Structure formats: C-alpha cells, structure tokens
Amino acid sequence: MTGTREKQSDKAIEQRMQQLADEIEKHNKAYYVDNNPTISDELYDSMFQELVRLEQQYPQYKTLFSPTERVGASVKAEILKVKHVIPMLSIHTETDYTAQGAYDFDERVRRELELKADAAPIEYDCELKFDGLAINIRYEKGILVQAATRGDGYEGEDVTANVRTIKTLPLKVEGFPDVFEVRGEVILHKSEFERINREQKEKGLKLFANPRNAAAGCLRQLDPSITAERNLSFYAYGYGEVSEALAKTQYELLTYLKEKGFPVADTRRLAYGPKELQEFHVLVEKIRDDLPFDIDGVVYKVNSFALQKTLGFVSREPRWACAHKYPPQEVQTIVQDITIQVGRTGKLTPVARLKPVFVGGTTISNASLHNEEFLENMGVKIGDTVVVRRAGDVIPEIVRVIKELRPANARDFVMPDFCPVCGSHAYKEEGEKDRKCTGGLFCQAQRVQSILHFVSRKAMGIDGIGEKLAEQLVTKGLVENISDIYRLKKEQIKGLEKMGDKSSDNLIASIEKSKNTTLERFLYAIGIPDVGESTARTLAQHFKTLKNCQSAGLEQLLEVDDVGESTAEKILHFFAEEKNIKVITELQELGVHWEETEAGREQEQVFAGMTFVLTGTLPRLSRDEASDIIRKAGGKVSGSVSKKTTYVLAGDAAGSKLEKAHALGVKVIDEAELMNMLSKDNETNE
C-alpha cells in the first residue's frame, strides 16, 4: 500500500509540473507575442518560482521543453527571425522585496567565488530594471545594420526598420569596432503612453494595458512610419557579440556607450557589498514615481567582466546578476461587490469592494470606479476577476477586467437615482460625468467628508480627527458645519469612543494650532468644487487676499492659471452662496487667520516670475519643503523641463530632467545655491 501511495503522490507531482509548464507557456504567448497579458506579474512569478522549486526537488520529471529552459516565447510567424550569436538570457529575480534580497544575492556570489568571510566586499554596478522590450542592435563598421527582439533568448524578431525610427539612437557611430552589438531596452515614456492611449480612444481603438505593451506593439508595427509617430525611447545596458573588448567592467562599458551617443540611465552607481546594494534599492524606490518611465525594480551586476566569466551561468540565468524587485503594483483579485460612496461635494462614486490583496506595499480591499462612464467602458461586473494597480500614494484603480475568468453568476451594477445615505434625489447634469446628491448640508455623508477634507494634512492639518470620530461628531450633533470644529470643548469629545484625557487634550491643541494657517490652505480646506491644492495655491498667489478672491468676477478669475470657465463658474457660485460666506465669517471670528500678501509687497519676492523644476534627492530638504520655499518667495514649481524653465534644482540621483536641462541650456543649481539666493535677498531687504 505504501508503494502505491508513493506512486500516486509522484504522479500528482508530475501532473502539477506539467500543468504549471502548460500555463506558463500560454501566458508567455499572451505577454510576449500577443501583447495581451491575462494574469498579473505577481501571479506569473509565483507560478514560475513554484515550477523551478519542483524541478529542483524532482529533476526526474523535468522535460527538455520546460519553460525554465526558455526566456520568453516564440516569435510571431509573420516577422523575419534572427538567431542571436550570443544568447539574450534573462536574469534571476529576487522576489524578496526587503533588504534580505540584496544580502541573498551577495551571499550566493561570494559562495560561488569561494570568498572567505573577511574578504573585501565585491564591487557591483547598480542599474534600473526597465519595464520594456529587450533589444539587440548590431553595428558593423559603426553602421546600424540589424535590430532584433529577445524572443526566446536564442532567436528573436527582426525589427530593424522600426528601431531606426528611434530618434535618440545613433544610426552611425564613429570609432566603433568592426562588430559591436549593443543591448538595451526599448521603452515608452509615461507621457507618450498617455498620448497614444488618448489617440486610440478617439479613434475607437483598443487601449494599451501599460507602457511596456504599448512599446511592444509600436515596435512590432509592420509599417515603420507608424512606429516613427510613437516616440519610442532606448536605453543601453550591455553588449552581445563584439570584435574587440573595450572595457573591463560593466560601469566602464556604460560610460563608453554614453560617450558614443547611446542613451544610458543616469540613475546608476557602484556599490560595495550588500548594504550599499540595498541603499541603492531604497534610493530608487523613493524617486521611482518621478521617473519618466516605468521600472519594476533595480538590477545588480558584478562589475568586473573577469569575475562575471568566472561565475558563469546556471540554466537560463547568469550567476553574476539579479533583478531586485519592488512590491508589485499590479495584482489580480475579485470584485466581491460594488457600492456607492458619497463625497463631500455630493458626488456619487461607485467603489469596487475587492477580495483583499497586497499591492504597492499595502493591503487594499477597495478601488474607485470613478463614475458611470468609467464603469460602462471598463465593463466591470460583480464577481469579475480584475487587475488592480497602485503606485505610491495613488488611489488603487482597476486597470482591466479578465473576462475569460468571468463566472456565470456575475452581476451588472446600475447607478442609483437616489442618494444611498440620505435618500435625496441624485442627478447628473448634461455634459457632466458625475451623479450628485441634492441633499446638501443635511446629507450626513457630505458633512463627514467635508470635515475629513477640512482637517486633512494639506488643508488645515488638524491631527486626531479620523473617519470614526468625524462620524461621531456629526451623529451626536456636535459638528453641523466645519466652523463648529472650533467650538468643540474637551468635555464634549472626552466621552466619545477612544477619546480619553490625553487624546482629547491633543485634539484641542491641534485645533488651536491650526488657526494659524495660509490663504492657499484655507481656500483648499473650505471645499470649493474643482479647487484642489494646486488651484488654491494659484488663486492665493494671484489675488493675495481672501477679499480679492471673493469679489473677483468671471473675467478676473479666468486670468488665473489653472482656472478654466467651468471652475470659475463654480468658484463664483460658491462665494455667491450666503451659507458659505456665513461659515467663512464664523471661521475667522473663531480665530482662523493667515498672513495676507498685499500687492505692494510682490517685488520683495526674489523668485517672482521664475519657474523651477526639482529632480533627485536634496541633502536636507524634502521635495515638499523645497517647493514651499520657492512658492513663498514668489516662484512657480513645474513638473517638466522646458525652454521656459528658469532653474533646475538638482539633488542626488537626478534623473532625465537633469539631462534635458543640460540639452536645453537651463541653469542647474543645488540646494546650497537656492538657499544662498534667498539669503542674499534677505540681506538686500534689511
């Protein structure tokens, strides 16, 4: 009986390995060939790692056709095939997102090199892990003669005509060896991805799922003139076949390629030992969202080519390199329900209630479905399997529905005609995307949301009032409008849930401290429709005083940056409402105040009329702190470099913005120079 059970167990393991192999091959084709992924990267990595583990444990069941022996998938039949002289193999992925991932890689390298514990740390080259399409570009006597995709690692697709359209890639290189194959990544910058998808939508065509798939689609166009319109980018990171060696290390190679005119990512550095590897991993994570392109991790490479040769390869991967990923930002989950959330302005927002899933560094269970139009276009049903994306502090969103996994009992969701909180009629104005509740101030949901917005960090910055406390303040009648917050007494809040002596004292102190604010924070806090943090700032800078802003007419409002006709009309309507003016007056009578900048003081602002762009990590100031300093001195802070940019404020690990500044001749300054400019102005004023 024991032998029979063992045979059954072995048979089950063999079947599981075959099932995994078949699934991985299917998803390889969907991702690499069809440019239409059907599962998340996290789920794919999990399946692949499970197969690797099983093959290591049960090598007798591993086949010659296992996807672990391959890199990607077969090339498309209608495109010419190119055999790689030197295989384009992928690298090992560290899926442990913590510091341990860096230490594990370093430990493996040291073990393979048989280094003793007291040996000097290994020198590594640290780079970005681009989320694009790997390309091998062959130059003969300095002329670009062929470009091919990675394909299955041994044979790729000929995309020479399309690669020639990449404007940043040199077609001819002076002083190059007779044969030199440059390897790198073809990517699509985020701004170009958004532009292409806008055009796709206008033409009624299918939208691309992400920049990586858009780049792949552009590169595989049969008509190069279409590719030329898509503004693809290329970044070099290695080499294939060469007729002569030109560098002894990876860092020297990239420096040489950059000198020859090839784009190389500025965010790279040498590291010594695992601690410095992890420091690079942390640094890049901080600036990741500011990069103009998508990455999903960093790459560590043993810097010395001699040591790389000693280390060699294992199966499909080099021992001398690895990719250290970040927590996945796109994952797969199930829509368990769809409900309505009523916002502070009465907007009814459909929200997907998800099966909890870990994404972008946190567990999420909800994702906004924005409005009826989004709901209709996305085609989400209750019960659907969806892919959810989260980046940094961005609200999680559903990016696509996996209709192949839709269950038979999936249900449609219909937007309600009445507010689910107060029962008031919900309407949608012609030309508007949002349905709104007409309940106004007596809609409890709007009062709670108004309080939460008013006390938020970038508004009045009152610590201690979360959603549960705000709900108690409303339901017990302690706060009927935002001015009542400044009437609260310790005795009133002490008895509320989780509010003891200390927490009550802290809340009262925070409320008192918030009375000293700024005009831009106040304009943002009072909840004018369509007036976000940026628009509130431009209103404050333009009008200088609240009185000027309140009394401004349509033409005056339209003179303000960021204010269009629709927003201007909403501002006019807000200040025309007597109840709104009453609340504003009450707030000021209760002690809320700020220093107003009169028009006559404008010339004292040293940065008036100047535009700054920030890039990299500053030594002492955070991005927000530096931006506030610039704005308070009259300057503007922009997110992109142009000929109109006055200064680029650059710190450590500055990205492509620094490169563009040099190209356009924009002056680059550091934090010390910024503070020196301010101190000189103060000396002049004294």
Neighbouring CB atoms inside 10 A of 180's CB total 22
Of the candidates 62, 129, 260, 458, the residue annotated as catalytic is 129
Closest by CA position to 464, among listed 501, 497, 511: 511
CA atoms within 13 A on the CB side of 291: 23
Is residue 530 within 8 Å of residue 565, measured between CB atoms?
A: no
The DSSP element (H or E) to which 632 belongs, if any, is helix 623-632
- Strand order, beta sheet including 133-140: 143-149, 133-140, 179-187, 233-242
For residues 431 and 420, the answer to whether their CB atoms sit within 8 Å is no
- Please name the amino acid found at residue 7: K
From the list 175, 85, 171, 177, the residue with the least C-alpha distance to 136 is 85
**What is the C-alpha separation between 81 and 141, in angstroms, rounded?**
23
Nearby residues of 104 by Cβ (< 8 Å), 6 or more positions away: 94, 96
Half-sphere exposure of 571 (CA within 13 A, CB side): 28
CB 382 within 8 A of CB 336: yes
Sign of the four-CA dihedral 128, 132, 138, 143? negative
Inter-CA distances, 553 with 297, 418, 530, 575, Å: 50, 34, 17, 11
Does residue 216 contact residue 224 with C-beta atoms inside 8 Å?
no
Residues 545, 566 contacting (CB under 8 angstroms):
no
Task: Respond yes or no: is residue 129 known to be catalytic.
Answer: yes
N- to C-terminal Cα separation, the chain: 96
Q: Which residues contact 522 (CB under 8 A, 6 or more apart)?
A: 460, 546, 592, 594
The DSSP line for 132-175 is: SEEEEEEEETTEEEEEEE-TTSSEEEB-HHHHTT-TTS-SB-TT
DSSP 561-606: TT--HHHHHHHHHHHH-HHHHHHHHHHHHTT-EE----GGGGGG-T
Q: What is the rounded distance in angstroms from the CA atom of residue 187 to the CA atom of residue 173?
A: 22
- Residue 160: Cβ within 10 Å count: 17
C-alpha to C-alpha distance for 213 and 210, rounded to whole angstroms: 6
Closest CA to 628 of 607, 642, 646, 643: 607
Closest alpha carbon to 296 in 389, 385, 214: 389
CA triple 508-626-606, angle to 5 deg: 110
Cα 147 from Cα 165, distance rounded (Å): 12
Q: Residue holding tokens 């503070």? A: 675
Q: How does DSSP classify residue 442?
A: G
* Residues with catalytic function: 129
